[in-house]
Amino acid sequence: MFKALSVREPQPACADVEALSETPVETLLELIDKAQQPPWVGMRAASCLIQGHADAVQDTLVDWVQQEDSRGFAILVLNQIDTLPQPVAIAVATQALAGPYASDATSRIAKSTNPALLALVP
What angle in degrees, to the nearest 10, is found between the helix axes of 58-66 and 86-97?
20
From residue 1 to residue 40, what is the string marking binding to Zn ion with x (rule CB under 5 A)? -------x--------------------------------
Find the binder of another protein among 25, 40, 52, 66 (CB under 8 A): 40
Could you count the other beta carbons within 10 Å of the beta carbon of residue 62?
Answer: 19
Report the alpha-carbon distance of residue 48 to residue 66 in Å, rounded.
Answer: 20
Residue 39 in the binding site for another protein (CB under 8 A): yes
Q: Residue 43 binds what, of Zn ion, another protein, none (CB under 5 to 8 Å, by partner type)? A: another protein
How many Å apart are CA 70 and CA 80, to the nearest integer?
16
Query: What residues make contact with another protein under the rule CB under 8 A?
Result: 2-3, 6-9, 11-12, 32, 34-44, 46-47, 64, 69-76, 79-80
